[in-house]
Chain A
């Protein structure tokens, strides 16, 4: 088998409720994989099944070709960084980190060397005699990571490990985690409900919902080519138009939004009259003032409903003719230094051909 972890047709129920439904997944050696999804999607249960704290109803888990489905957490070569860190409050930082090594009967001199080495790596060498309650949140987080990685597991599991930190600390911990992962070469499986975090850190993202895997892909793939509406909605903000294909010519499809005809490449072999969803990211929308341009073919007319200044961007809410609101994000750049809009101003909304994502509308 190829992956360091192979999950084969895993199912799990709690009190008749299906939490994981026939999940299969391959985790590659050395990658940073993120399980992303709303709370209750089964991502934490999947993590606990891998670590061995839950047992599955059916299916198998292999860690480096070894079937571990029936093994206890002690017998699995994976370690967890808990959401609450779960540091032992009565032990010093050194003793916390040394705990796993003592369990596997490593010699005292080797323990000392390895603990000191890992504490240096997470920049906590000066804190080895402190108790957990004498540390800040970020430091506790680093102790929790050090305690797990000092045992050199094949895979490190991180359960919402950054969600209790404040925004700034969180961003610096994201960078530090990535650095550590590269330095150690250990496979990381990270669970989060924060899509920005997932995009920033992962090699691959697994999007989960209601016990199913919706999509697996690189951050770029899941962002630019969402597999379905749920995946699209979950990652980033989105404008969704429902429409129907008017015509298919050569490799292009024609559809209309708000009675304006548009076209794009027919990537998915769609046919005439197929119901579709047209997905456009706010940052892909261009908003033009009424007298900024002359030809307005294929552009949607609207009026500015709200202007939200965000420093590096300006977010616009535009009311289209039909009354529906769409979101657009405009960046400050050399081409357009004066992003200045008034409420109620008439504008034209446009996007580059083929920048939209077309999904077949399964609900129609």
Chain B
């Protein structure tokens, strides 16, 4: 065996080892736990049962699941609506402006998302910045109750996840050949037709990648609903966290995880089918 192939085996081996020990093994554990019986002293016992899944059929949990899907969907749509124009401007602006705009996308990553979410309380609370400004301008007569509501959760999610939408969109729009837009105009195409028939289809891969990168975390980030949402804003991520840390019902927590994984895989599958084979590179 020469040195080169030894190096190859080593790197691939390390990666496979990592995936097995830290990815596959924990997931297998979760699946296993989800089929075991709850036990308050030892957390769970290896006794096959479907109890945890039966419990999940409780309308309360189904409600939480549906609300999670709804919240994540709304978040994704808002991120797309805000992110697309931003990414378009970013890709078309001159280099100096481009660097500045990029800085705005990157700066949030310099501090912890948790801290920034706490900071949003200061902005959203009834005596916060938004309410003060709106009251001052006379747009509203009394403070809006935004904080501790679903609206606050969605604002927090959109704010935290927007860069994950912008970056894949930007990389697609950047590669878009401007000559194609000129060709469409030359053939008599108006702005709307050019946008929907040329620009959108050409950046479909970026749209799909951005939607996945926003939708999947939006389903599971538990601290944003916890900080910004009220008691009624419980989402899947919070449910799982509660079962593991507070209710100590590990099988139920694990079963929720499994259901979530299945839902996410299905979502990925739908996106995968929606994208054409030549666009799939952007998803991986």
**Cα separation A53 to B186 with both chains bound (whole Å):** 9
Closest chain-A Cβ to B131's Cβ sits at a distance in Å of 45
B179:A84 contact, CB within 8 angstroms: yes
List of B residues within 8 angstroms of A88 by Cβ: 180, 183-184, 198
A79 at the interface (CB under 8 A from B): yes
CB distance from B204 to the nearest CB of A (A): 8
Q: How far is the CB of A273 from chain B (nearest CB, A)?
A: 55
Is B45 part of the binding interface, using a Cβ–Cβ cutoff of 8 Å?
no
Indicate whether B26 reaches chain A with its CB closer than 8 angstroms.
Answer: no
Residue pair A99, B179 in contact (C-beta under 8 Å): no
Q: Interface digits, A255-297 against B, CB 8 Å rule (1 contact, 0 not)? A: 0000000000000000000000000000000000000000000
A51 engages B186 (CB within 8 Å): yes
A-contact 0/1 string along B178-204, CB 8 Å cutoff: 011011111111100100011001101
Q: Are A86 and B193 in contact (CB under 8 A)?
A: no
Interface size on A, residues (CB 8 A): 21
Interface residues of B, dominant DSSP: helix
Least CB distance from A12 to B in Å reads: 17
Q: Which residues of A contact B201 (CB under 8 A)?
A: 90
Query: Are A103 and B188 in touch, CB under 8 angstroms?
Result: yes
Alpha-carbon distance A63/B53, docked complex (angstroms) = 74
Contact A74–B188 (Cβ < 8 Å): yes
Complex Cα distance A79/B183, Å? 9
Judged by a CB distance under 8 angstroms, whether A100 is at the interface is yes
Instruction: Check if A55 is an interface residue, CB within 8 A of chain B.
Output: no
Number of interface residues of B (CB under 8 A): 18
Contact A103 B186, beta carbon cutoff 8 Å: no
Instruction: Decide if A104 is an interface residue (CB 8 Å cutoff).
Output: yes
Bound-complex Cα distance A11 to B239 (A)? 69
**Which residue among B179, B183, B185, B201 has the maximum number of chain A CB atoms within 10 Å of its CB?**
B183
Cα distance, A148 to B190, chains bound together (Å): 16
A103-B182 in contact (CB<8A): no
A79-B186 contact given A90-B201, A103-B193, CB 8 Å threshold? yes
CB-CB under 8 A from B177, the residues of chain A are 84, 86
Residue A73 lies at the interface, judged by CB distance under 8 Å to chain B = yes
Contact A82 B188 (CB under 8 A): no
- Residue pair A86, B182 in contact (C-beta under 8 Å): yes
A99 to B197, CA, bound (A): 9
How far is the CB of A120 from the nearest CB of chain B, in Å?
A: 20
Query: Which of A51, A74, A89, A99 touches B190 (beta carbons < 8 Å)?
Result: A74
Chain A residue numbers with a CB within 8 Å of B182 are 53, 73, 80, 82, 86
Are A82 and B179 also in contact (CB < 8 A) when A89-B202, A90-B202 are?
yes
Q: How far is the CB of A78 from chain B (nearest CB, A)?
A: 8
A26 CB-CB contact with B under 8 Å: no
Partner of B188, one of A87, A90, A151: A151
From B179, B187, B193, B204, A147 is in contact (CB under 8 Å) with B187
Query: Which of A53, A80, A104 lies at the interface centre, i.e. has the most chain B CB atoms within 10 A of its CB?
Result: A80
Of chain A, the residue at the smallest CB distance from B193 is A103
Given contacts A82-B179, A84-B177, A103-B193, contact A73 B198 (CB under 8 A): no
**Closest CB in chain B relative to A308 CB, distance in Å:** 40
A residues at B contact (CB < 8 Å):
51, 53, 72-74, 79-80, 82, 84, 86-90, 99-100, 103-104, 147-148, 151
Return 16 A-B CB contacts under 8 Å, by A number.
A53-B182, A73-B185, A73-B186, A79-B186, A79-B187, A80-B182, A82-B183, A88-B183, A88-B184, A89-B202, A90-B202, A90-B204, A99-B197, A100-B189, A103-B188, A151-B187
The 7 A-B residue pairs with the shortest CB-CB distance, nearest first, are A100-B187, A86-B183, A103-B188, A86-B179, A90-B201, A73-B185, A103-B189
A53-B185, A74-B185 known; 15 other A-B pairs, CB under 8 Å?
A73-B182, A73-B185, A74-B189, A80-B182, A82-B183, A84-B177, A86-B179, A90-B202, A99-B184, A99-B187, A100-B189, A103-B189, A103-B190, A148-B187, A151-B188
